[in-house]
Amino acid sequence: MSKVDLLVVGAGPAGMAAAVTARRFGLDVLVVDDQPAPGGQIWRAVETVAASARGVILGDAYRDGKSAAEAFRASAAVYQPGSQLWQIEPGFRAFVTRDGKARSIEASAVILATGAQERPVPFPGWTLPGVLTVGAAQILLKSAGQVPAKPFWLAGSGPLALLYLTQLLRAGGQIAGYLDTTPPRRLGAALPHLPRALRAAGDLAKGLGWMMALRRRGVRIVKHVVDVEAIGSDKIEAIRYRTTGGEQRTVAAEILLVHEGIVPNIHASLALGCNVQWRDDQDCYVPILDPWGESSQANVFVAGDAAGIAGAKAAVIGGELAALRIAMKLKRAGEAKAIAAAKPLRHRLARERALRPFLEAMFRPRRQIFAPSDDTIVCRCEEVTARDIRAMAAIGRPGPNQVKAFTRAGMGPCQGRQCGYTVTHILAEAENRPAADVGFYRVRPPLKPVTLGELASLDQLETTP
Amino acid sequence: MFRKLHDAGVNGVTIYIDDAPIAAEAGESIAAVLLRQEEIWSRTTPATQAKRAPYCMMGVCFDCLAEVDGVASVQTCLTTVRDGMRVARQRGKRSLISKGSLIGKRSLGA
C-alpha cells in the first residue's frame, strides 16, 4: 500500500494538467490510467505519433498534446499506465489492478479525470462485427496508423464525425458515404447561440472547413437520415437506411462507423456517491461541482470531460483549477495566491465553453436513438432487447435497478456503460416521466472486472511487510 | 477489415492468433491487429454465441475480449502486442481454468 497527497485518475488533458499543477505546489501525486501512454483519447499515442507523417494527418489540435505530455513527464508525478481502477473507498483508499496484480493506494484528495465515452447508439445490428464507433476508428488511426481497407459508411452526427472523415481523406482512405443523422432545422435551433459561439470563432471556422472539405472532395452525403440498420449474420454485409423524406435504401457495407456525440464517464463519480444532475442539453448526467470542480463529496474533484463535455482546452483548465484548490486545502498554497491564480483560468474557461451551447443545439441527437425498435439489443453484454425492457415497464413502474435485477441488463462486464442511458430513456418514455426522474443504475464495485487471482494478490501485498 | 498506412519496419513483431503467425507492430493493440484479419471477430457471447469484434477501442464495451497467453477475458484494445504473444478468440464464457493449465479447459464445466 502506498500513500500520496493526490490521486489523479486518468492521464488525458485534465489529468496531466492537474498533476503538473499539483507538483508545482510540491504535492505527492500518483496518476493511474488504463491506457499504455499518456494523452487520453484525444491525444492517444501523441508522444510517438505527433512528429510522424500521421501527426500531419491528425492535425494541429492533436499535435498540441505533445507539449502537454512532455510537461507531464517532466513534472515527476508518479505515473502508472496500464492500471485499472476498480474501487475507491471514502477516506480515500483506491484499488487498482496492473499487470494482473491488485494494490491499494491511500490519498488525501482525488481528482477524477476519467474523460468521456461515445454515446451508445442502439439500432438493429449494432453488435455485428464491422460496426464500430467513429471514436474507435480514430483511435485506430492514431495508435495503429490504420484505416478501413475498403470504402466505408459513416452514420452519425457531430464534430467528431466530420473531423474523422477529414482526417481519413488526408490519410488516403475512401468513403462510401456519410449518412448524416442531424435532424432537419437544427441550424435554426442553434442560431440564437451564434453570437456567443463567435467568441470561439476559430473553432467554429474549423468545423465549417471540415464540411467544405467533404463537399469539395465529392463525398456522398445523405442528409436527414433517421433510421439505420446493419444487416448480416456473422458480420455486417449491408446497411438499410431511411431519411425523414421517406427515401429508403439498402447498400452493401463491410465497415459501418457510428457516432452521436459523447457523454461524460461518470461511473467513478457515481461509485463515490457524488451527487449528479441531469443535463437536458447534453442528454446525460453530470456531477454537481463547485467552481473549483469539487463534488458533493469533500476532497473528490472531477475535471475535464468527466465533469461535462467541453473539450480538451477546457479540460486542461479544469484540471489546473482542481489542483489549485487541493493545494490550498492541503495548506501548500496560500489562499490569496490560489484565488488570484484561478481568476484568469476561469476567464479562459468561459471562452472555451462559449461554443458549447451552439454545438449542443446543432447536434443534439435524434430522438430515435433513445427509442430503439423492440428487436434492438439494448444491453450488448447480456443481449437484452428493448422489448424485454418495455415488458418490465408494463408490469410496474420500475427504475433502472429493478430492470437490471429482472433482465440482467447492465450486469455484464461493461457495467451498464453501453446500455445505461438507453434503459433510462426507454423507462422514461414508457412511464411518461422525465429521464431526470428515472435515474441511472446504482454503480457498485468493482468498476472494472477483477479476478479472484488479482484479489488474492492484494491480500498478499497487504499482509507481507 | 482495416489496413495499415505504413510498414512496421524495424518495429515488426510476430503474434499468434488461433495459432497462425501474424505480423504486428510494437506498440499497437491486439484489437488493432484483429481488425486487420479476414475474420475480425474476437469472441462469441455467453448468451447466444453471437460473434463480436472490437467496437469502442477504449475499454468501455468489452466486445474485444479474447484469451491472451492463457488468460481469458483480456481487453485486447487495452493490451499492446508483444513478440510471440498467443491470442485465441474466446468462445462463450471465460472458464475458471485456462487452456494452458494442467486440469484442462472443460473439466470444471461451462
Between β-strands A377-379 and A384-385, what pairing exists: parallel, antiparallel or unpaired? antiparallel
B103, pLDDT greater than 80: no
B102, pLDDT greater than 80: no
Tally Cβ neighbours within 10 Å of residue B109.
6
pTM above 0.90, yes or no: yes
The amino acid present at A354, given as its one-letter code, is A
- Residues contacting B15, CB < 8 A, separation 6+: B21, B22, B24, B30, B33, B81, B82, B83, B84, B85, B86, B87
Give the pLDDT of residue B100.
46
DSSP 3-state assignment of B104? coil
- Residues contacting B38, CB < 8 A, separation 6+: B1
DSSP 3-state assignment of A264? strand
Pick from A41, A130, A147: which is nearest to B58 by CB? Answer: A41
What is the distance in angstroms between the Cα of A416 and the nearest Cα belonging to chain B?
9
Nine-digit cell string for A379: 444491453
Give the pLDDT of residue A462.
54
The tens digit of pLDDT for each residue in A112-152 reads 999 999 999 999 999 999 999 999 999 999 999 999 999 99
Best CA proximity match to A180, nearest among A165, A201, A202: A165
Give the pLDDT of residue B97.
53
B106, pLDDT greater than 80: no
Q: Does residue A162 contact residue A261 with C-beta atoms inside 8 Å?
A: no
Is the Cβ of B16 closer than 8 Å to some Cβ of chain A?
Answer: no
Give the pLDDT of residue A461.
54
Best CA proximity match to A100, nearest among A380, A338, A449: A449
Nine-digit cell string for A189: 435551433
Q: Does residue A380 contact residue A418 with C-beta atoms inside 8 Å?
A: yes
What is the distance in angstroms between the Cα of B71 and the nearest Cα belonging to chain A?
10
The tens digit of pLDDT for each residue in A228-275 reads 999 999 999 999 999 999 999 999 999 999 999 999 999 999 999 999
Q: ipTM surpassing 0.90, yes or no? A: yes
Round to whole Å and give the CA distance between B64 and B77. 7
Category of A331 on φ-ψ map: left (φ > 0), alpha (ψ -120 to 50) or beta: left
Q: Does residue B18 contact residue B40 with C-beta atoms inside 8 Å?
A: no
Beta bridge partners, A101, equal A98
- Residues contacting A456, CB < 8 A, separation 6+: none
Give the pLDDT of residue A441.
96
DSSP 3-state assignment of A341? helix
Give the pLDDT of residue B93.
76
Cβ-count burial of B61 within 10 angstroms (0-12 exposed, 13-18 middle, 19+ buried)?
buried
User: Do A417 and B28 lie within an 8 Å CB cutoff?
Assistant: no
The tens digit of pLDDT for each residue in A311-325 reads 999 999 999 999 999
DSSP 3-state assignment of B108? coil
The amino acid present at A20, given as its one-letter code, is V
Q: Does residue A282 contact residue A309 with C-beta atoms inside 8 Å?
A: yes
Q: List per-block mean pLDDT (blocks of 10 residues) for chain A, which spans 465 residues.
A: 93 98 98 96 95 93 96 97 94 92 95 97 97 98 97 96 96 96 92 89 88 92 96 97 96 98 96 94 95 98 97 97 98 94 96 92 92 97 97 92 96 94 96 94 91 80 49
The tens digit of pLDDT for each residue in B63-80 reads 999 999 999 999 999 999
Round to whole Å and give the CA distance between A447 and A455. 14
- CA A322 to chain CA centroid, Å, is 20
User: Do B29 and A144 lie within an 8 Å CB cutoff?
Assistant: yes
- Closest residue on chain B to A449 (Cα): B73
B25, pLDDT greater than 60: yes
Specify the higher pLDDT residue, A140 or B101.
A140
Q: Is the dihedral of CA A414, A383, A261, A46 positive or negative?
A: positive
Entry field: residues in chain A: 465
Q: Which residues on A lie below 8 Å from B78 (Cβ)?
A: 34-36, 82
Q: Which residues on A lie below 8 Å from B23 (Cβ)?
A: none
What is the distance in angstroms between the Cα of A301 and the nearest Cα belonging to chain B?
22
What is the distance in angstroms between the Cα of A167 and the nearest Cα belonging to chain B?
13
Q: Which residues on B lie below 8 Å from A172 (Cβ)?
A: 5
What average pLDDT does the structure give for chain A?
94
Tally Cβ neighbours within 10 Å of residue A55.
19
Tally Cβ neighbours within 10 Å of residue B19.
8
Q: Does residue A27 contact residue A330 with C-beta atoms inside 8 Å?
A: yes
DSSP state of A384: E
Nine-digit cell string for A425: 430513456
Pick from A137, A145, A254: which is nearest to B6 by CB? Answer: A145
What average pLDDT does the structure give for chain B?
88
The amino acid present at A230, given as its one-letter code, is A
